[in-house]
Structure formats: structure tokens, C-alpha cells
Chains A and B, each alone.
Chain A
Amino acid sequence: MVGIAQVVVQGKKQEVKAKGTIRDLMKKFGLNPEIHLSLVNGKLKEEDYRLKDGDVVEIIRVISGG
């Protein structure tokens, strides 16, 4: 059975099926991996990380400007 992971993208929290990788998640949300980093349960993880039931994924946009 596929579990549930929580994803925080640009401050918005939502639930997704805990399947696939962070790369798949970025694709799903239309995010460019060159300007985003992912924290899983507070730890920096690479895009190939496979989601597990109960994971809390935070996708951070890293570009700033002015």
C-alpha cells in the first residue's frame, strides 16, 4: 500500500502519495531543480531520494534578488 507524504511548496502544505522521487515531485509542481532544494524531515536530500510514508518534504526556492 502506498503511504502519504506531506509536501511544503512555497509555504503551502499538501499531502501526496509517498511514491516516486523528489525529482518526480518537482516535475509535478512544475519546479526547476536548478533553483530549488529539498529537505526531507529537516535534512537535505538529493533529487533521487524516494519518498516514504510519513515523510515531510520541504521544497525551498533558493534564488533571491533585487
Chain B
Amino acid sequence: MICKKCGKEAVIKIRAHNISLCEEHFAEFFIGRVEKAIKDFRMLKKGDKVLVAVSGGKDSLSLWDVLTDMDIKADGIHINSGIEGFSEKLQEKAEAFAKKRGLKLHIVNVEDILGEPIPKAVKLVGRTPCSLCGLSRRYIMNRYASEMGYTVIATGHNLDDESSNLLANMVKNQWDYALRQSPHLPEERGLKRRIKPFIYLSEREIAAYAILKGIDYCEERCPYSKKATSIAYKEAINHIERFSPGTKHRFITEFIRSRDRLFKNQKGVELKPCPICGYPTASDGPCSLCRIKERIKERSKKAASA
């Protein structure tokens, strides 16, 4: 197959757009999709101070890379979950990338916030690792962005993440979550603005970009993600995508476009500041993270005295 733009040998076929592209024109296509997302959802304002959530995987490193190439100045934050044999590899990749590109990277350990690393915290509080890790990450990102004066947090969430999340929220009848899904979450009562510039790009396209740009990312999967149901939803929606190219894009973008009309009477969740840390929460008492921290403290004490 040859590149639709120049006739050179193609390196990738993108069925959703019915095109095959060479290395050069794929890079052009990729940047174009990021530019379109930023423009369509008014993700960035003049004078924004951008903080990129950098895990060390392909999505976040590619995001940091492409934003830098687009002359959008962005610093990174890496959150180390303390998963032995895995977290250190991710941190190494994030640090190496920052060093190579001369970018500023902040490192935060979950343990410093929760009191325990994720594997130990999971055992103490009985939550699933993915939910506890996600909750801690969102909390840390928001807190550090606020404390360090960043105006917006950019994450590597992509078309696969967002469309499979929407499918999962619908299947589980979690409409509160579905209605909050957006590539651009505005700032509200203590929550920093969050943007997802990869909303128009699939994980396959992002992986291809990372490979072609020689981005050294961590290919290893989190040992806890093997049991994650999110993978099953991604496989399911990609099964439909295979037979009906463009499904993921249509599913998420049409939902975003029509939800205000369909759910105009639906009230959003009201957020209040947590009485302990000030972080916004939907609950009347302390936020989820403060409740978890308290439980960890209690159970650690109990375990130590037993």
C-alpha cells in the first residue's frame, strides 16, 4: 500500500479515515488531530501554564512530545505508585525523556500522600488497585497543579480510553460519570481544568507515533491491570470498530454533542470542599482520599499492635 498523500511506502493504514500514510504524512496527520482537538474543545488559553501527567507509558510521553513540538510549553508530573518492580521502570522512562528533551519533571510518591504505597494501601482498605491508584492520581495532580500555579492539567487519555469508558458507564448505568465525561473539564470549585488533547487519536495511532518518533516508553503492563475490566471494554469497542470503522469516534463525539440536549434536566454533582484537606468532594464529610488515609492509619496501627 502507498501513502495517499505522496505515493511513498505507507507505514500505517487508518481505517476510520480510509487512508494509508507514510512516516512523514502520518506525523503531519497526528499533529493535525491534536491541533483539531485543542481547537474544537477550546482546550488552551493564552498564558496557560500546562502540567502534563506523565506516567512513562506511550500515551503520556507522546503527548508531552507532541505538545513540545507544537511549541506549547508544558512541565510534567510523574506520580510513583510504589508498585515494586514496575513503578521504578515507569519513573526511569519519564525521567529519561525529560532529560533528553530538556523538560521540567516533578516527581511525587503516592506513599507520601496516602501514608502507604498502592499495594499495601489496597490490602489495608480493600479497594481495587485501579480505583485507589486512579483516585490518588487525580487528587495528587490537582493538589500539585494548584500549589505550583499551573492553570491546566493535560492527560494522555485517548479515543480508546474515552469511548470504552463511556461504554462502561452506560453498561453500568453510571450516568453521573458519563455526563461528566469530556475532553475538556472546566475548572470548578477547587478542581483544576483538565484537557485530553488525544481525544481524536486511537491507542494504535499513538503507539505508531511513539515508535516512529523513537520515544522510549515503558511497554510493560501494570501487574494489577491484568484483572482490570477497562481492558474488556476496550476490546469490545474495538471489536465493533473492526467491522465498522469510525465507531469509537462517532460514539464519543456524538454523545458529547447531544448530551446537553438529551440530559438538560439532569443535575450535576454538587461539589463541596473537604473539611480536612479542602479538596472538592461530592460527599458531606471528608473526601474519599482523606477517608482512605484515615482507614490506612487506623488499620496500620491495629496491625502493628496485633
Interface residues of A (CB under 8 A from B): 32-37, 39, 43-48, 60, 62-66
- Give the interface residue-count category, chain B: 35 or more
Q: Give every chain A residue within 8 A of B239 (Cβ-Cβ).
A: 32
With an 8 A cutoff between CB atoms, is B277 at the interface?
no
Establish whether residues B230 and A66, one from each chain, have CB atoms under 8 Å apart when the complex forms. Answer: yes
- Known contacts A39-B211, A63-B203, A66-B228; is A46 also within 8 Å of B1 by CB? yes
Q: Is the CB of A48 within 8 A of B234?
A: no
Counting CB contacts under 8 A, is B66 at the interface? no
In the assembled complex, the CB of B20 is this many whole angstroms from the nearest CB of chain A, namely: 6
Within 8 A of A (CB), among B196-212: 202-204, 206-208, 211-212
B13 contacts A64, C-beta separation under 8 Å: no
Given A46-B1, A64-B203, A66-B130, A33 contacting B160 (CB threshold 8 A): no
| Residues A36 and B230 in contact, CB atoms below 8 Å apart | no
The 8 A-B residue pairs with the shortest CB-CB distance, nearest first, are A66-B225, A65-B230, A62-B207, A48-B1, A34-B238, A65-B231, A66-B130, A44-B11
- Contact (Cβ within 8 A) B207 A60: yes
1/0 contact trace for B179-190 toward A, CB 8 Å?
000000000000
Q: In this assembly, does B221 line the interface, its C-beta being within 8 Å of a C-beta of chain A?
A: yes
A5 to chain B minimum Cβ distance, whole angstroms, is 19
Residues of A within 8 A of B222 (CB): 66
In the bound complex, what is the Cα–Cα distance between A46 and B242 (angstroms)? 16
Partner among B224, B235, B242 whose Cβ is within 8 Å of the Cβ of A63: B235
**Known interface pairs A33-B242, A34-B241, A34-B242; A62-B203 also in contact (CB < 8 Å):** yes
**Can you list 17 A-B contacts with CB-CB less than 8 angstroms, sorted by A residue number?**
A32-B239, A33-B242, A34-B15, A34-B202, A34-B238, A37-B12, A37-B211, A44-B11, A44-B211, A46-B1, A46-B12, A60-B207, A62-B58, A62-B204, A63-B160, A66-B222, A66-B224
A32–B221 Cα gap in the complex (Å)?
Answer: 19
For residue B248, which residue of chain A has the nearest CB?
A34
CA distance A39 to B234 in the complex (A): 22
Q: Tell me the minimal C-beta distance from A21 to chain B in angstroms.
A: 10
Q: Which residues of A contact B219 (CB under 8 A)?
A: 60
CB–CB B11/A32 < 8 A:
no
Q: How many angstroms from the CA of A64 to the CA of B203 in the assembled complex?
A: 8
Residues of chain B with a CB closer than 8 A to A32's CB: 235, 238-239, 242
> Which residues from A are CB-within-8-Å of B164?
65
Whether the Cβ atoms of B234 and A63 lie closer than 8 Å is yes
Using A37-B204, A64-B57 as known contacts, say yes or no to A46 and B234 having CB atoms under 8 A apart.
no
Taking the complex as formed, is B10 at the interface, i.e. its CB lies under 8 A from any CB of chain A? Answer: yes
The listed residue (B130, B204, B211) touching A36 by CB distance below 8 A is B204
Chain A minimum-CB-distance residue to B21: A46
* Minimum distance in angstroms from B26 CB to a CB of chain A: 9
Across the interface, which residues of A come within 8 angstroms of B141, CB to CB?
none
Closest CB-CB distance, A15 to chain B, in whole Å?
Answer: 24
Residues on B with C-beta less than 8 A from A62 are 58, 203-204, 206-207
Which residues from chain A contact B238 at a C-beta distance below 8 Å? 32, 34-35, 63
Query: Is residue B166 contacting chain A, with contact meaning CB distance below 8 A?
Result: no
Tell me, in angstroms, the Cα distance from A46 to B12 when the chains sit together. 5
